[in-house]
A and B are shown apart, each in its own frame.
Chain A
Amino acid sequence: MIFRKLVIENFRQFIGKQTFEFSSDPARRVTLIHAENGVGKTTFLNSIYWCLYGSFLPQTFDDQKSLVNDHMKAVEGLTQCAVELVFEHDGEQFRVVRTYDELKLSAIVQGFSLNEGNNVPIKSIESVIDRIMPASMGKYFLMAGETLQNLGRADSAKFREAVRTILGFDHAESVSEHLRSIVSNWNKDVSKATKLDAKLAAALAVKSNDAPKLQQQENDLKANSIHRETTEAEIARINQELGKISNKDIQTLNDKRQAVERQIKIVLPREIERVRKDRSGLIQKYGYSMFGFSFLSEAKKTLDKFAKDREIPSHYKDVFIKKLLDDALCICGSSLEEGSEPRAKVAELYEGATTKEQEHHIDKAKAAANQLQDLANDYTHELERLITLETKLETELANYRREKESVDSELDQIDDSKKDELLTERGEAERHRDRLETHKYELQQNIRSLKESLAVAERDVNKGGAFAELNELKEREAFVQSLLDRLRRIVKEEDSSAIDEIQNLLNRKLEAYSRKEYRGKVDQDFTFTLHKESGRPIDKSTGESKLLSISFVSSLIELAKSRRNENSDFFVKGTVAPFAIDAPFTALDNSYRGAVAELLPECAEQFILMISSTDWQDVIKKPLIPKIGKQYLLVANVADDKKERRTEDEIDIGGETYLHTKYGSEVSCTTSVEIL
Chain B
Amino acid sequence: MITEDEDSLEDELLKDILKYAREAATAHSEVPVAKQIEHIENLLLSTMRRVKK
| Cross-chain contact B40 with A126 (CB below 8 angstroms) | no
Most-contacted residue by chain B among A54, A124, A179, A483 (CB, 10 A): A483
Nearest-CB distance from B13 to chain A (Å)?
7
Nearest-CB distance from A99 to chain B (Å)?
16
For the complex, what is the distance from the CA of A54 to the CA of B7, rounded to whole Å?
40
| Cross-chain contact A182 with B10 (CB below 8 angstroms) | no
| Cross-chain contact B37 with A181 (CB below 8 angstroms) | yes
Residues of A within 8 A of B15 (CB): 569-570
| Cross-chain contact B18 with A571 (CB below 8 angstroms) | yes
| Cross-chain contact B48 with A479 (CB below 8 angstroms) | yes
For the complex, what is the distance from the CA of A332 to the CA of B13, rounded to whole Å?
94
| Cross-chain contact B27 with A53 (CB below 8 angstroms) | yes
Q: Which residue of B lies closest to A170 (CB)?
A: B25
Residues of A within 8 A of B36 (CB): 174, 178
Nearest-CB distance from B1 to chain A (Å)?
7
For the complex, what is the distance from the CA of A130 to the CA of B27, rounded to whole Å?
9
| Cross-chain contact B48 with A175 (CB below 8 angstroms) | no
If A54-B27, A171-B21 touch, does A475 touch B44 (CB 8 Å cutoff)?
no
Does A250 count as interface, using CB distance less than 8 angstroms? Answer: no
8 Å CB contact of A178 from B7, B21, B22, B28 = B21
| Cross-chain contact B1 with A475 (CB below 8 angstroms) | yes
State the main secondary structure of chain B at its contact with A.
Answer: helix
Nearest-CB distance from B17 to chain A (Å)?
5
| Cross-chain contact B28 with A126 (CB below 8 angstroms) | yes
Interface bin, chain A? 20 to 34
Q: Which of A567-588 contact B (CB under 8 A)?
A: 569-572
For the complex, what is the distance from the CA of A181 to the CA of B35, rounded to whole Å?
13
Residues of B within 8 A of A55 (CB): 27
For the complex, what is the distance from the CA of A480 to the CA of B17, rounded to whole Å?
12
Nearest-CB distance from B47 to chain A (Å)?
8
Residues of A within 8 A of B48 (CB): 475-476, 479
For the complex, what is the distance from the CA of A182 to the CA of B47, rounded to whole Å?
15
Q: Which of A213-265 contact B (CB under 8 A)?
A: none
For the complex, what is the distance from the CA of A55 to the CA of B28, rounded to whole Å?
11
Residues of A within 8 A of B26 (CB): 126-127, 130, 134-135
For the complex, what is the distance from the CA of A394 to the CA of B41, rounded to whole Å?
72
Q: Which of B1-49 contact A (CB under 8 A)?
A: 1-2, 6-7, 10-11, 13-15, 17-19, 21-22, 25-29, 33, 36-37, 40-41, 44-45, 48
| Cross-chain contact A130 with B40 (CB below 8 angstroms) | no
If A181-B37, A182-B40, A482-B10 touch, does A475 touch B2 (CB 8 Å cutoff)?
yes
Residues of B within 8 A of A126 (CB): 26-28
For the complex, what is the distance from the CA of A126 to the CA of B23, rounded to whole Å?
11
Chain A residues with a Cβ under 8 A of chain B? 53-55, 124, 126-127, 130, 134-135, 168, 171-172, 174-175, 178-179, 181-182, 185, 475-476, 479-480, 482-483, 486-487, 490, 569-572
Q: List 21 A-B contacts (CB under 8 A).
A: A53-B27, A126-B27, A134-B26, A168-B18, A171-B21, A171-B22, A171-B25, A172-B21, A174-B21, A175-B40, A181-B37, A182-B44, A475-B2, A476-B45, A482-B6, A483-B14, A490-B14, A569-B11, A569-B15, A569-B18, A572-B22
Q: Closest 8 interchain pairs by CB?
A: A126-B28, A569-B15, A171-B21, A130-B26, A175-B21, A486-B10, A171-B22, A178-B37
Chain B residues with a Cβ under 8 A of chain A? 1-2, 6-7, 10-11, 13-15, 17-19, 21-22, 25-29, 33, 36-37, 40-41, 44-45, 48
